[in-house]
């Protein structure tokens, strides 16, 4: 069962303006990164279902975070089918992100009152996701489908669209600001924020500094 309700998750995502995206096969490493995210000033973590046993790791990460980092809104990403979505929700994921839109996953998340943020690359996909009850969609891959100009263009006739660009966004004000100006409520940040080489050497001070710098970049981008 989720520890944060749907409204609170949406409020946190919009308030933070940046969602760290991360996976590591080592539980202790994942815990350290989660602590760095909170220490740096962000409140969400999308733990991606990319590696073998990722959901097994999530099963350990969720109860630990509830005790040690109760303010962290921990969710799951890279969910492509209903079975994986159901397992992640049962484990306590507070939100479900996906690289593509699935009607079955959307219906499941609605039934469980869990935010579902599917990857979309066209206005038709976006409108379909909204019709299925999605509060947000993910523009993916954001740097390959037209960038901020694409979001600005589709929001002209459809200003209610809230899309989180993911893929190619850097944790700098220069990279984030055009997306915010185009109407994005937040951006997704993966390896450009949580670089493998820094995580692999366990430089947690540097990870915390990068997260704090991202918080500052979001503030600057918002003016």
pLDDT single digits (tens) 96-123: 999 999 999 999 999 999 999 999 999 9
Tokens representing 109 are 């998340």
What does the pLDDT average to over 119-136? Answer: 97
Catalytic residues: 46, 138
Provide the 8-state DSSP code for 46: E
Cα–Cα–Cα angle for 38, 39, 40, rounded to 5 degrees: 90
pLDDT score recorded for residue 51: 87
Q: How far, in Å, CA of 125 to CA of 129, rounded?
A: 6
Predicted confidence band of residue 60 (pLDDT cuts 50, 70, 90)? very high
- Residue 165: band (very low, low, confident or very high) from pLDDT cuts 50, 70, 90: very high
Residue 197's pLDDT is: 97
Residue 176, pLDDT score: 98
* CA gap 117, 98 in Å, rounded: 6
- Average model confidence (pLDDT) across the chain: 97
Q: CA–CA separation, 199 vs 20, rounded Å?
A: 13
Q: Are 44 and 75 in contact (CB under 8 A)?
A: yes
| Domains of the chain, residue spans | 6-218
Split at pLDDT 50, 70, 90, the class of 28 is very high
Phi first, then psi: give them for residue 99, nearest 5 degrees. Answer: -80, -15
- Encode pLDDT of 186-209 as tens digits: 999 999 999 999 999 999 999 999
**Confidence label for 52 from pLDDT (cuts 50, 70 and 90):** confident
For 69-203, where are the alpha helices, taking DSSP H only? 82-91, 103-112, 123-131, 147-155, 173-182, 196-200
The stretch 126-148 carries a mean pLDDT of 96
Q: Dihedral, CA atoms, 192, 25, 72, 66, nearest 10 degrees?
A: 180
| CATH code 3.20.20.140 for 6-218 | no
Residue found under tokens 């990279």: 175
What's the CA gap between 30 and 21, in Å, rounded? 11
Q: How deeply is 206 buried, as exposed, middle or buried, from its count of CB atoms within 10 A (0-12, 13-18, 19+)?
A: middle
- The pTM is what? 0.97
- How far does Cα 164 stand from its chain's mean position? 8
Q: For position 19, what pLDDT does the model report? A: 98
């Amino acid at each position: 069962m989720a520890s944060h309700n749907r409204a609170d998750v949406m409020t946190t995502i919009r308030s933070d303006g940046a969602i760290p995206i991360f996976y590591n096969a080592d539980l202790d490493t994942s815990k350290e990164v989660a602590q760095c995210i909170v220490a740096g000033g962000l409140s969400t973590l999308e733990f991606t279902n990319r590696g073998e046993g990722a959901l097994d790791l999530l099963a350990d990460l969720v109860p630990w975070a509830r005790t040690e980092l109760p303010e962290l809104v921990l969710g799951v990403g890279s969910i492509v089918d209903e079975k994986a979505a159901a397992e992640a929700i049962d484990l306590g994921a507070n939100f479900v992100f996906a690289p593509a839109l699935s009607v079955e996953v959307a219906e499941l998340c609605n039934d469980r009152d869990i935010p579902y943020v599917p990857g979309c690359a066209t206005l038709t996909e976006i409108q379909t996701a909204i019709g299925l009850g999605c509060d947000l969609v993910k523009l993916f891959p954001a740097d390959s489908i037209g960038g901020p100009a694409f979001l600005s263009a589709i929001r002209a006739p459809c200003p209610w669209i809230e899309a989180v660009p993911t893929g190619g966004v850097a944790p700098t004000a220069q990279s984030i600001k055009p997306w915010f100006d185009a109407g994005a409520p937040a951006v997704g940040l993966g390896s450009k924020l949580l670089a493998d080489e820094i995580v692999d050497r366990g430089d947690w001070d540097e990870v915390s500094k990068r997260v704090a710098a991202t918080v500052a970049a979001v503030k600057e981008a918002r003016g």
